[in-house]
Structure 1
């Protein structure tokens, strides 16, 4: 399993609008992407303008179907997203390690 973490720093005052748009856009992802095991929108407790979209994917092929061949380096964005952001999205991936 691969965890994909996209992090946004949202402009002051745009947090609620950004969150509403993000939730609207990802609501049907489980139905659209078979390899998506789960997903969450996280708001940092200490810094509410720091928002993460965390998704868990079955494997690399599923991530390619979602994000394209450059999934490791290119974040998935939505039209007009830059309007909400203070800086470009950051992107990290983690492989879930299961004890043997």
Structure 2
């Protein structure tokens, strides 16, 4: 299963990098200003930054609580985006 959300924001690159840096102390991460990957325990997270959108893709493991996974990602990004939070996640 793969779920993707297109999150409208003018600060996609900043939030992508902040989230990757935040979790780099616990998990394997790889990122630059435009793309990021986090080896999260519930499954991998991939992000892509565009000028007005942060695209977030999660691939929950078979035993992962999908709703919790989505909420953890959204909550962390909302913390970094506190000036414009809550961000809109249209998971598909």
**Fold conserved (TM > 0.5)?**
yes
Unaligned stretches of 5+ in structure 1? 94-100
Aligned Cα root-mean-square deviation (Å): 3.2
Deviations 1:16-71 (A, max 9, x none): 432321222354252x51x41x3311123xxx120112121232x31x1x752xx6
SS of 1:54's equivalent in the other structure is strand
User: Of 37, 48, 53, which aligns to 1:42?
Assistant: 48
The alignment covers a number of residue pairs equal to 78
Deviations 1:54-90 (A, max 9, x none): 121232x31x1x752xx67x56321623425476321
Structure-2 residue corresponding to 1:76: 74
Higher relative contact order (CA 8 A, sep 6+): 1
TM-score, structure 2 normalization = 0.55
Unaligned stretches of 5+ in structure 2? 28-37
